[in-house]
Amino acid sequence: MIRGEKVDLIALTMDYLPSYLKWFNDPEVTDMLGDTRFPMSEGKEREWIEQQLTPKDSYRVFTIRTKKGKLIGNCGYNDIDYQNRYVVLGIDIGEKDMWDNGYGEVVIRTLTKIAFEELAMHKVELGVHSTNERAIACYKKCGFVIEGCEREHDFYRGGYIDSLRMGILKDEWLRLKKKK
Amino acid sequence: MNIESKRLMLRAVEPDDARFLADIINDPEVRSILGAYDLVFPVSVDMEERWIAAESKTEDVHLIVTLKKGSAPLGILSLKDINKRNGSAHLSIILEKKSWDRGYGTEAVTEVLSFLFHKKNMHRVWLRVAEYNERAIACYKKCGFKVEGTLREDHYASDAWHSSLVMSVLDKDFRRKRS
C-alpha cells in the first residue's frame, strides 16, 4: 500500500471487480481516457484484472481508496521505462461524485513522489486532452509543465482534438519540494 | 547487435558454444581460480547445451568474447541479477587459458561497463572474486572496480576454506575515470 494524503493507493484484487466494472462502463469516465470502449462484460473485466495480478516491470495499476475505505478509482504508471528513467502517469476517478474534491491532485502528487523517491526516475510525464481544463489545471498545480501538443491526436465526441504532453523533471520537483 | 572494442567482439551465447564452455570449465587451471563459481564436478557438452537452453528463458545475459579477427571464442562474460529499478547487475567473466595476460579481460569488461553505463543508463555493477585470484582483481581494479567487502570463507577448495572479495563500480566512478 502506498500512503498518500486523503487516499491510499492499494494493489488490485479480484474483490474490486464490481467497482472496476462500474467505472469502466461509465462513458463519462472512460471517454476522458482517450479510449471509448464497448460495453465491458464481467468476464472481460475479470480477465483484465487477472492480467494485472501477474505484475510486469513495464506498467502497474493501483486502486485509489479514501481514508474512509471507499474505492473511488484507479491510477498507476502506464509506462515504466527504467532505462530512460521516466514514467507515464494514468489516473481515473471512477466515482463521479468524488470529482472536484482534490483527489486527483493528491493521487498525482503521490505517484510523482514515489516515481522520484523510490523508482529513481528522472522525469514524470502524462498526456491529457487539450479540452480537459480541469485536469490541466490540476497537473499544473502539481508542477507539471506543458511540453508539447500532439495535434489532433485523439478522436473524441465526433472530432479530432489535440492532446497535450505534460511533464516534470526531477530537479524541478526538488525545487518545488524545497519551497514548501 | 554485438558489442565491439578495439580488438574484441562480444556476441550472444548460442547452442553451438556448448563445447567451448565445457572445455574451459573443465580446464583444471581455469577452474582453480573460479572459487566464486562453485565449480567442483566436470561438465559435459550435453550439460552445457541444456544450460544454454535454460538460460535463454531467463533475464540473465551471457556474451561470448571473440576476437574481431576470427570467430573462435575466447571466453564468456555474464550479467546476472539485473535489477532494473536499482540499475544494478552482477558481472562475471571467464577466459580460456591461452587468452590470459593479453589485456582481453580488461578490454572486454571496460567495453561492457561503457555499454551498461552510457547506453543502458545503469548505476552499479558488482562482482565476486576469489581473494587469491590476483590476476582478476588487478584487472577489475583497472576497469574501475573498488573492493567493498570480504565474504569470509565462502568457499571450500583444496582442503581449505577461502574467502571472496566483493567489488563494485558505480556510474559516477566510471565517468570520472574516463574523463
Sole residue written with cell 565462502? B154
Write out chain B residues lying below 8 Å of A83, CB-based. Answer: 84, 120-121
pTM: predicted TM-score of the whole model, two decimal places: 0.82
CB B93 within 8 A of CB B75: yes
C-alpha cell at A139: 497537473
Q: What are phi and psi of A72, to 5 degrees?
A: -120, -5
Contacts with B10 (C-beta within 8 Å, 6 or more apart), sequence order: B2, B3, B4, B63, B64, B65, B66, B77, B108, B111, B112
- pLDDT for B36 equals 64
CB contact under 8 A, B121 and A85: yes
| Residue A135 cell numbers, joined | 485536469
Helix (H, G, I), strand (E, B), or coil: what is residue B85?
A: coil
Judging contacts by C-beta atoms under 8 Å, the chain A residues touching residue B87 are 82, 120
The beta-carbon neighbor of A57 closest among B84, B86, B87 is: B84
Each residue's pLDDT, cut to its tens digit, for chain A (180 residues) gives: 898 899 999 999 999 999 999 998 888 888 777 667 777 888 889 999 999 999 888 999 999 999 999 999 999 999 999 999 999 999 999 999 999 899 999 999 999 999 999 999 999 999 999 999 999 999 999 999 999 999 999 888 888 999 999 999 999 999 999 987
Contact criterion met (CB < 8 Å) for A119 and B87: no
Using only C-alpha atoms, chain A has a radius of gyration, in whole angstroms, of 16
If DSSP codes are grouped into helix, strand and coil, which group holds residue B70? coil
CA-to-CA dists, residue A146 to A5, A71, A128, A133, A160, angstroms: 25, 30, 10, 13, 20
Using an 8 Å Cβ cutoff, are B100 and B135 in contact?
A: yes
Residues of A in contact with B123 (CB under 8 A): 120
Averaged pLDDT, B84-110: 96
**At what angle are helices B45-55 and B18-26 packed, to 10 degrees?**
120
Interface test with B, best of A83, A87, A117 (most B CBs within 10 A): A83
Residue of chain A whose alpha carbon sits nearest to that of B83: A82
Dist. CA B168–CA B100, nearest whole Å: 22
Residue of A nearest to B122 (CA): A83
Residue type, B176: R
Q: Which residue in the set A57, A83, A119 is minimally distant from B120, CB to CB?
A: A83
Contact present, B8 and B104 (Cβ < 8 Å): yes
Distance from C-alpha of A136 to C-alpha of B16, rounded to nearest angstrom: 56
- In this predicted structure, the answer to whether residue B178 has a pLDDT above a threshold of 90 is no
- What distance in Å separates residue A119's CA from the closest CA in chain B? 6
Do residue A83 and residue B86 have CB atoms under 8 angstroms apart? no
Contact state of B121 with A57 under an 8 Å Cβ cutoff = no
What's the CA gap between B138 and B117, in Å, rounded?
A: 21
Q: Strands A60-66, A71-81: parallel, antiparallel or unpaired by DSSP?
A: antiparallel
Residues A135 and A163: beta-carbon distance below 8 Å: no
Whether the pLDDT of residue B27 is over 80: the answer is yes
